[in-house]
Amino acid sequence: MLFGERKVGETDPENAQALIQPEHSWMIRYLAKLKGYKRTTPLVSPPPLDVLLTWLGAFLGIAAITLFAHKFDLSVVASFGASAVLIYGVPDAPLSQPRNVIFGHTFSAMTGVAIFMMFGLTWWSPALGTALALVVMLLTKTTHPPGGATALFAVLSKAQPSYILTPIMTGAVILVIIGLLVNNLSPDRHYPRYWY
């Protein structure tokens, strides 16, 4: 046998690797994504004044919503707690801006109510309401993560159309107003970064 010749039925190791490569390389790339990236910047805490203002904003925002809900015999929606974290904790974040907060919650409430009105409460309708709310927020550029919980709660609680205005839209506006008043007390914060 000459150098470089192969017996019949013997495969070239490089060609064999090329035949297997596409399947394995996709899986390797997929699994490699799970390890994330190495952090290049250190984690930092905000200045003490901003921490105090974060607490104050969250307290006042949720207190105002709870007072409003108590006065008008409305439910307090848990997704507003997550909105408080975004508005008062990371007011510079794009998903914390007034457009995202108000319209993200409102469109999600509309989606959740519509799904409940069309399909009722089934094992799959809460998932459909949440998933469609996410799609609506993405398409309208109003993504606000707590909106997913707003849609989910709408279906689970068998919400009626009034849920959209009160407590949802009204509550979102209250949180934003408190955010405007409290966040701008800090010299390091400017809320909102943009309105539209």
Contact 55, 46 (CB under 8 A): no
Q: Helices then strands (H, E): number in the chain?
A: 8, 0
Is residue 193, in this structure, part of any structural domain at all? no
Q: Is 119 helix (H, G, I), strand (E, B) or coil?
A: helix
**Is residue 163 a part of any domain in this protein?**
yes
Residue-wise pLDDT tens digits, 65-106: 999 999 999 989 999 999 999 999 999 999 999 999 999 999
Residue 131 domain boundaries? 48-183
Residue 10 lies in a domain: no
Flag whether 153 is in a domain.
yes
Please state, in angstroms and rounded to a whole number, the distance separating the CA atoms of residues 150 and 101: 11
Distance CA 89, CA 175 (A): 13
> Does the pLDDT value for residue 19 go beyond 70?
no
4 CB-side CA count, 13 A: 0
Task: Show the tokens assigned to 84.
Answer: 């408080």
pLDDT tens digit sequence for 35-44: 888 888 998 8
Q: For the chain, what is the domain count?
A: 1
pLDDT value of position 181: 98
End-to-end CA distance of the chain: 76
What's the confidence (pLDDT) of residue 23? 64
Residue 130 included in any domain = yes
CA–CA separation, 105 and 149 (whole Å)? 9
Q: How many CB atoms lie within 10 A of CB 82?
A: 17
